[in-house]
Amino acid sequence: MKQLISIALLSTIITYTSCNTAPVKNDKISAEITPAEQPSEPIDSSYDPAKGEGRFTNVKVSPTLNTAMAENGKKVYHARCESCHDLSADKRVGPGLKGITTRHTPEWFMNFMTNTDVMLDKDPFAKEQLKKYKIRMGNQYLGDEDVRDVYEFLRKNDGIK
C-alpha cells in the first residue's frame, strides 16, 4: 500500500512539473502579460480630482488675503510642515509648496491635509507625487481651521495680497 501511495505521489509530481508550459529563459520562468491580463484600477466615477475626497466640498476664499488666518497658518506651517516642505519649489522630504494654491483648489488641499491616506490611494496627482518622492505623508492631525489657515498662508506665499 505504501508503495502505491509513493508511486501515485511521484506520478502527480511528474505530471504537474511536465505540464508547466511557461517559457523558460536563462533558467528563470518568464511569461508575457497581454493587455487583457494586466491589472487595471477601477474607475470611481464619483471622484472629483479637482476637489479630492473628504468633507470639504465648497471652501469660500476671498480674492484678497486674510492676514489673521495667514499669520496662524504660518505658525502651523513652521510647527508641522516645514521639516518636510520648503516654501520654494525646492524639494525637501516632500515637494516644495510654491505655487500649490495655483495648482490645487482649496477643497483639494484641505481634503489632502485631512484625508491624506485616501487621497494618496485615490488621487492621480497625489499618486504621482508618491511615486516621485517615495514616502507617504503622515497624518498631521490638524483641525479644519488650522488647515484653512495654512492654505491662506500658502496663498500669501504664492503672492496673494
Its pTM stands at 0.72
- The per-residue pLDDT for 59 is 97
For residue 24, list its beta bridge partners.
29
What's the confidence (pLDDT) of residue 15? 40
- Residue 98 CA to residue 101 CA, distance in Å, equals 8
Please give the Cα distance from 153 to 142 (Å, whole number).
Answer: 15
Distance CA 28, CA 42 (A): 32
- Who's near 68: CB < 8 A, 6+ residues apart? none
Structural domains present in the chain: 67-157 (1.10.760.10)
pLDDT score of 46: 82
Q: What is the pLDDT of residue 53?
A: 96
pLDDT at 32: 34
Q: What is the CA radius of gyration of the chain?
A: 26
Contacts of 99 (CB under 8 A, 6+ apart): 89, 158
Give per-10-residue mean pLDDT for the chain (161 aa).
54 41 34 34 73 96 98 98 97 96 98 96 96 94 97 98 95
